[in-house]
Chains A and B, each alone.
Chain A
Amino acid sequence: MKPATFLQASALALLFVFSHSSFAALGGDFASVQADQAHMKATIRSSQAQAYMVHEMESPGHVLIREYVSPQGKVFGVAWNGQFRPDLRQVLGDYYGQYSQAVETKKAAQHGRSPLSISQPGLFVEMTGHMRAFSGRAYVPDMLPQGVRAEEVR
């Protein structure tokens, strides 16, 4: 990963005092970070990069989940790695349906195999890894803040 992204971890952790929210993660409002944290019983730390904030959670299964929040308070990207896959319904939120449909279409067309890459105009999802070590990333291209490159979501 990119340790530099998390250098200011402790400094911003106190920001999270919002009430619970039903917003889902990807594409959702800032507050959804806390909803995810509650759902996944995760601990959280955060840091501020130049054009966005990164919030990193660790779930009990030692899955690290990073949520990327724009200056407008929207979660424009998520990335994860760990021994298991995270709860993608929660992480992808309103985009889970689109992701699911894309997976079905892809597998129907080519009998899927390990790595999975979904690249649509409104959603990018990529997953890789193997048993005991999975990783993945997802973002909404139109929501990337000005000047932020997609590969920064990782």
Chain B
Amino acid sequence: MRNMLKGKLASNFFAAILLGALLAAAGCGSGNTGLGSTTPPPTGTNSNSFDWGAPFFYGRNVYTSIDGSSAANAPYWAYTQSSIAAAAGNVVAVTVDGGPFIASQNSVYVNGVFATVTVCVPGTSNCQNIDHVLVDTGSYGLRLLAVAGGGEFALTLPQQVGNDSNPINECTQFVDGFIWGPVLTADIKISGESASSVPIQVVGNSTFTAPAGCTAGGGTDESNAAGLGANGILGIGPFPQDCGSACTSANGSTPIEGTYYDCSTSGCVAAFESLAAQVQNPVTLFAADNNGTILELPGVSGAAASVNGVLVFGIDTKSNNALGTTPILGINTTGSFPGDFTTNYNGNSLTGSFIDSGSNALFFDNSSISVCADNTSFYCPSGIQLSQSATQVGANGTTSVVNFNVNNADALINGNPNATAFNGFAGPN
């Protein structure tokens, strides 16, 4: 995921009653926090990333092919104009509807793309449907929020254990925080596709305290409804595992902190985790249609109360998932930015760029665009709408010019109090 995910406070959506609370909260930090405050912007804000978030998906079919799979030239992203596939065994409905906690948390998850996933005790028909799982091309693996943490997951699944039979727990890092919980094994069913005995992560009911090596990256523990904003995350990005060789014994003699841990009553210690034991992109374990996905969302004109689309499994495996002549944008598999390509924007070459349905806006730095006064995660160009252009450069050398609009987020939100999907949302990295 791009980690984080989240939406924005409900306050703006729920009118006057909550508005006072929001202003109070914002006021606390008005002197020295966000970019929208009175603090002058720093002279340089050039990160090396362009995050092509959910608004990029509106009106497109976006292909994500998985590294090492049967898809030719994998891994890559590719996209065409949107056309929504009909219901089929390799198609599952997705929706942008504000997320699961609109009522209980008074918050709307803006531009969050959600699907329902079924998890089962391996080899049994003891299953549970989990709705509002965030569809995320920026991460790898299924993560579910337990009831105790405010989510839905309530099954008892087999605990993965290390060589010493101790339970394995995982620290999953996001940009501004982390989630923490055990690695369990589940059968996963989505539409007509299924995968058996898949390592997944469950958060929100952990027996063990997150170790210092997990919290050292900073940020907050997001293993809760307010932190995740979803009942789970379905990571279907271009890699099969959430860590890869860096977490295995092939990487050296000392396990890396901040990933997998072997836990006992005396605490949790960093542990090696084999590729097969790591939390897996479940798509790769489907019997068929396992080489990638296509996320198909209709166009959004300005703002919409909800958006309905589909997630198609497989690339060139069925008549409904042909790549055809669609140009592919190759993805780095090694180097400093695995999973990324380059975006040339505003005179900068942003080598850590990615296409991420789990980000709820396009995120890039441009200090000439004003940050919103109310919704400080987003841009508010003075002209209401600003036309921009960028060039994506794949690891395979393919280039693609993308013209896009940056909309004034405050104006769109305030003008559309019931909307959950917003086109043209962008914000600083």
Contact = CB atoms under 8 A, between A and B. Distances in A.
A61 B256 contact: yes
A45 interface: no
Contacts of A134: 173, 175
How big is the A interface, by class?
A: 35 or more
Contact of B258 (A1, A84, A92): A84
Nearest to B359: A114
B297 interface: no
Given A82-B336, A132-B242, A89 B4 contact: no
Which interface residue of A1, A83, A105 has the most chain B CB atoms within 10 A? Answer: A83
Nearest to B107: A111
B5 interface: yes
Contact of B25 (A84, A108, A113): A108
A114 B256 contact: no
B336 A120 contact: no
- Determine the main DSSP class of B at the interface with A: loop
- Determine the main DSSP class of A at the interface with B: mixed
Interface stretch (B243-251, B287-295, B316-324): B243-251
Given A88-B217, A115-B363, A131 B3 contact: yes
A102 interface: yes
Contact of B41 (A87, A100, A119): A119
Given A120-B39, A131-B235, A114 B5 contact: yes
B46 A99 contact: no
A119 to B, nearest CB: 5
A12 interface: no
Contacts of A88: 216-218
Contacts of B363: 114-115, 128
26 contacts: A85-B258, A88-B216, A88-B218, A96-B218, A103-B218, A103-B220, A106-B34, A107-B177, A108-B28, A110-B9, A113-B2, A113-B3, A113-B360, A114-B51, A114-B363, A115-B175, A115-B427, A115-B429, A120-B39, A129-B352, A130-B356, A130-B358, A131-B1, A131-B139, A150-B44, A151-B46
B108 to A, nearest CB: 10
Contacts of A118: 33
Interface residues of B, number: 80
A114 to B, nearest CB: 4
A103 B337 CA distance: 25
A133 B337 contact: yes
B167 interface: no
A81 B41 contact: no
A1 B340 CA distance: 14
A9 interface: no
Nearest to A96: B218
Which interface residue of B176, B246, B360 has the most chain A CB atoms within 10 A? Answer: B176
Interface in A25-78: 41, 60-62, 64
Contact of A117 (B2, B45, B257): B45
Contact of B175 (A106, A119, A129): A129
Contact of A121 (B39, B173, B176): B39
A145 interface: no
B32 interface: yes
Contacts of A87: 213, 216-217, 257
Contacts of A15: none
B339 interface: yes
A128 B427 CA distance: 12
Interface string B131-172: 000000011100000000000000000000000000000001
Interface string B219-250: 11000001001000001010100111010000
A29 B303 CA distance: 51
A114 B1 contact: yes
Nearest to B48: A135
